[in-house]
Amino acid sequence: MAVRKASTIGNNPLDQVVTLRRQEAVSDPEPETTKVARDRVTIALPADLMDRVRNAVYWTPGATLVDLVESAVADAMDRLALWTGLSASADLRSRPAAATLSLDAV
In a domain, 8, yes or no: no
| Domain ranges, residue 53 | 44-106
In a domain, 98, yes or no: yes
In a domain, 75, yes or no: yes
In a domain, 51, yes or no: yes
For the segment 60-87, what is each residue's pLDDT rounded down to a tens digit?
Answer: 988 899 999 999 999 998 888 888 877 6
For 16, 18, 25, the CA distances from 28, given in Å and listed in that order, are 18, 15, 5
For 13, 45, 68, the CA distances from 87, given in Å and listed in that order, are 61, 27, 23
Q: How many domains are contained in the chain?
A: 1
- With a cut of 60, say whether residue 92 has pLDDT above it: no
pTM over 0.75: no
In a domain, 103, yes or no: yes
Rg (CA), the chain: 27
In a domain, 66, yes or no: yes
Say how far apart CA 43 and CA 26 lie, in whole Å: 43
Tell me the pLDDT band of 105, cut-offs 50, 70 and 90.
low
In a domain, 28, yes or no: no
In a domain, 50, yes or no: yes
